[in-house]
Structures are given as C-alpha cells and as structure tokens.
Amino acid sequence: MPENEQIKRLLSLIALNDDQGAYKELFMLLHPRLKQFAYSILKSNEEAEEIVSDVFVKIWEKRTQFSHIESPRLYFYTITKNLSLTRITKLKRQVNIAPEDWLVQLDSIYFDPEQLIITEEILRQIRQAVNDLPPRCRLIFKLIKDDGLKYKEVAELLHLSIKTVEAQMAIALRRIGKCMQLDIRRSHQVENQKKS
Amino acid sequence: MSQEKFWILFSKKLAGEAGAEELNELEALILQHPEWQYAIQNIEELWKNHPHTDSIHAEDAYLLHLHRMEDLNIPFGQFPTLSIETKRPVRKMKWYWAAAILLLVAGSWWGIRKMTASKTEAPIARAVNEITTRPGSKSKVELPDGTMVWLNAGSKLTYDKNYGLELREVTLTGEGYFDVVKNKNKPFIIHTSSINIKVLGTVFNVKAYPQDKHTETSLIRGSIEVTIKNRPNDKIILSPSEKLVVENDEIIEKDKQAAHHEGAAQPTDLSALVSVNKLKYISADSVVAETAWINNRLIFRDEAFSDLALRMERWYDVQMEIGDPALQNKRVTGIFRERPLNRRWKP
C-alpha cells in the first residue's frame, strides 16, 4: 500500500519535527479527494472546504498521536465522513443521510486518444453508464478507482462487508463493459448492412 | 456463471486485490472468451486514467486553511510569522539607504553585464573561462548552450573550451543555482571538491563552499545523479524536492585514511557520509529556502548561529566575530531581504 506508506512517512515527519513542509505536502496530497468526498455528502463547495480544513486542524493538533494507526488514509476518510455528517445534521436538521443520497462525481472517465481505441460515442455511453450506476455502487467505484482505496478500507468506511464491495465493483465494471460489447455488435451490423 | 465470476475477478485485478490463484483463474476465463478482449483492454486503459487534479486550487485551499488556523488561534510553529526583519525598526530606515541599495544593485549589474559582455565578444577562444563573484555580490551567467547559472557570493565557476563538444562540464566552488538546457546527448556535469553531479536537463541548487561542513545539492525539478569523489560506484539519484547533504569533513578524512592504507578496501557505510532530506518549503508562498538567495532573500531555519554568521559574511562581505561562545550553537530562524547591514549588527 504505497500511498499509506507515504502518508505515514509525512505524518512521522510532522510528529517528530513539526515539519511544515511535510504538512503542506500531506495537504496537497489529500485535499482534492477529501474535499470531493465531503462534497458528495454536503453538496456545497464552501462547506466541503471547511470540513477538509477541520480535518487538517485535527491532524496538526493531534500530530503526535498518529504513529500507530495502520491505515491513516482510512482514518482521514472516516473523520471527513463523520464531520460532514455532523455538519449536515446541524445545517439541515436532517438525520441520517445514507450513502444512497450522496452525490458522487467521477471525473476520470475521459478520452485519451493515445491509449483508448474507442470512439467518442462509446465514451459517452460509458459516462452515461457510470452516471446511471446506483449511487452506492458509484461511490464504491469512485473510492476504489479514483481515490485508490482498498476494498477493506471502503468496507470499513461505509460499514459494508468486503463481499458487498466486490459485488458492487463487478456490477460497475460489467455495465461499463456492456457499452463496448454492444458497440461491437452494432458496428458489425452496420458493416453487414453495407455488404448486403 | 463464468460471466459473474469474470467481473468479480477482473475488478479485483484492476484494484490490485486479486491473489495469484485468482489471477490464474481470470487468465483461464479470458482464454475461453477472446471476444471479451476489446472491452478488457479498454477498461484497463480507462482504469489508469486519474482524475485531473488542480494543484493551484489545492495551493489556494492551503493558504485559506493556514489563515483559518490563525483565526482559530492554533499555534503553527514560529515560522514564517517570526522573522528578525519584522522586529527591526524598518520604518526608520533612512531613504538614502534605499538609494544606496539601488545604486549598489544597479552598479553591480552593470558591472557584471559589462564583464560578461566583454567576455563573449572576445574573439580568442580562451582555454578556460572563469566567472567569479566576490563576497557580497552575486552574478547571473549564460553558458554557451543557453544554460543559466546564478552564482552566489564568493563563488567560482569554470569551464573550458571543450564545453558542449561532447560533454558540458563545469567546476564549481561556492554556490550556484542551475537551470540546465535539456540535451540528452550531452550530459551536463558539475565537479565540486567532494561530489560530481550529472544531469540531462533540470533545475537545481548546489552549495559547495570549501569552508562549509557540508556540500548540499537541492533538486527543484527533473532528476540528477550524484557521485561522491573517490566512491564512483555509489550513485545517488535525487528526485524533485529532495536535498542531498554530503559531509565534507568525513570525505577529507576518508581520503587521508585511504592514503595511509594505500587504497585498501574501505567498506564504509555510505549513509554515514550522506543524507537525503526534503527541501524546506516556506509555507506562506511555497518558496524553497535553499534557493531563496536568487531572489535576494536569505532564509534560514533552525540553523546554528555560527553557520548563519558564515553565510552573512559571504552575503554582506563582512567579518563577524562571535564574542560569546554560547551564542555559537544557538539555533536561529528568520528571513533577510537584501539590504546593507544595520549598524547594530556591526561589532
């Protein structure tokens, strides 16, 4: 788990030397993803920004206590989740907003002509397929693909079993895969029509 | 169903969760279904795409975060808020000091321009080109291939007429900030008294004053390869934002020992001689302390006063005597912008 190792290294620099360079590096490393994660719950940029800032306030204040955490990454996602849920309860007096109601954005479904041998049309279909995924499935897919979390970490974060995470990932990929198989069939049909 | 199993295994493979047995099983399934190949390949490529992250946005967010910490009265170390500069009565500085600095800076620039200009105009190819800076002055040089070098006070850079024919070789004493033009076929090599640095095209800072205890190499971007004199087999590759510190005393001592033992094998631990550290970023504006001097700033953080005194001697071309020996090892932190020494600093 190289990223967790990197986070641990930075945390120990921060704990031992009050290393502000390492603190900033950690911030730059985690900010984009933690903010997106907070945003998915709060649906507000400013609120999400403040939550991440709060998380980093905690990281600084409790810097000497992180040395024995096995997965600091999971720990920070968990604090982000908890702070966000507390915040939304206060703001909207909503109790218990379930992961089904989280707004998850995936921005890694894009076209790189050097690598992908698919058309814009297939890519559009893939995007659509990802958008049409059930919210919890999309959240799991995003956390694993974009944020690089492990199955075990996602399971703990969302209070699910690892088997559920496995199944949700399979559903997400199968739906994406379908876009491409369908297209192959369709292009064959087009060719056949031309021939006849 | 093999389909269901396939998607479970395939997603585990992508996420790096599959064990050896599962990978074998997946391999076997794929062999039975060549028609899946197209989708598999594309999904694998799509998986590699990372979300576009906006580092400028994160930088802004970090600044806001620091302000918020301040508002919340959370102590965040002494730096960068405490600097000696803010404690000095800056407003009382007489206008003629400012004028004097301007004259000084303009004068030295003009002098350097004239110096370098006359050098390039000279038609005779001199065997050795030498650029030196006196204590208290700095200089910026453009080498024949367009590589830029900023020379700090009290430094010397030499290169001979073969520069750029096969290699781009220079020798440095003192401190230089290098912005090397990329050329894969002609490596750029810097020789100092204790290390050699080989680069292809990159930006970095080298501090190799003979009087200093260490030789420091700070990499800003790109990558460089450092070899230590007398240990040509030990190569150290630096990554961006890393600083290599080599103990000069150790090396000199090793030399002496080696001379005694007539080159007998010395299995000394490399880690005793060198260390790789992270660069010191200054939180407020992400300036790197190691290279602040090219912007006329002297930044020191948690350094021994005796080391600072040495740097100030070069920087201002003055002699500093530390009367109280207890002061020698006192740790200091602060920023100076370039300006003449205040009277109180003089003995």
Write down the mean pLDDT value for chain A.
83
Tell me whether 0.85 is exceeded by the ipTM. no
Long-range contacts (CB closer than 8 Å, 24 or more residues apart) made by B313-316:
B313/B135, B314/B135, B314/B136, B314/B152, B314/B153, B314/B154, B314/B209, B315/B135, B315/B136, B315/B153, B316/B135, B316/B136, B316/B340, B316/B341
Chain A residues closer than 8 Å to B285 by CB: none
Q: Does A129 touch chain B (CB under 8 A)?
A: no
pLDDT over threshold 50, residue B85:
no
Q: A61 or B328: whose pLDDT is higher?
A: A61
**What is the length of chain B?**
347
Q: Determine, for residues B17 and A150 on separate chains, whether the beta-carbon distance falls below 8 Å.
A: yes
Chain B residues closer than 8 Å to A126 by CB: 46
pLDDT over threshold 80, residue B58:
yes
Chain A residues closer than 8 Å to B55 by CB: 28
Q: Which of A14, A31, A46 to mutate to test the interface with B (most CBs of B within 10 A)?
A: A31
pLDDT at res. B121: 39
How far apart (Å, rounded) are the C-alpha atoms in residues B62 and A31?
9
How far apart (Å, rounded) are the C-alpha atoms in residues A21 and A29?
12
The residue-averaged pLDDT of A88-114 equals 68
Q: Determine, for residues A145 and B72 on separate chains, whether the beta-carbon distance falls below 8 Å.
A: no
The residue-averaged pLDDT of B307-315 equals 79
pLDDT at res. B82: 30
pLDDT at res. B84: 33
Structural domains of chain B, with CATH: 2-48 (no CATH), 84-259+269-345 (2.60.120.1440)
pLDDT over threshold 80, residue A187:
no
Structural domains of chain A, with CATH: 2-97 (1.10.1740.10), 101-195 (1.10.10.10)
How far apart (Å, rounded) are the C-alpha atoms in residues B344 and A141?
64
- The distance of A112 to chain B (nearest Cα, Å) reads 8
How far apart (Å, rounded) are the C-alpha atoms in residues B133 and A79?
54
Percent above pLDDT 70 for chain B? 68
Q: Mean pLDDT check: name the lowest of B174-188, B225-239, B285-299.
A: B285-299
- The distance of A92 to chain B (nearest Cα, Å) reads 24
Write down the mean pLDDT value for chain B.
74
pLDDT at res. B123: 39
Give pLDDT tens digits for B2-36. 788 899 999 999 999 999 999 999 999 888 888 88
pLDDT over threshold 90, residue B102:
no
Note whether A138 and A176 are within 8 A (CB): no
Q: Which residue of A has its CA nearest to B53?
A: A32
Note whether A66 and A72 are within 8 A (CB): yes
Q: Determine, for residues B46 and A169 on separate chains, whether the beta-carbon distance falls below 8 Å.
A: no
Q: Which residue of A has its CA nearest to B50?
A: A108
Give pLDDT tens digits for B234-289. 778 887 777 888 877 654 555 555 555 544 444 456 666 677 776 665 544 445 67
Q: Which of A171-180, B113-122, B243-252 has the highest mean pLDDT?
A: A171-180
Chain B residues closer than 8 Å to A32 by CB: 51, 53-54, 57-58
User: Within its chain, how far is the Cα of B87 from the centroid?
Assistant: 29
| Beta-bridge mates of residue B281 | B288
End-to-end CA distance of chain B: 88
pLDDT at res. B133: 83
The residue-averaged pLDDT of A63-76 equals 86
Residue A128's CB is within 10 A of a number of other CB atoms, namely 12
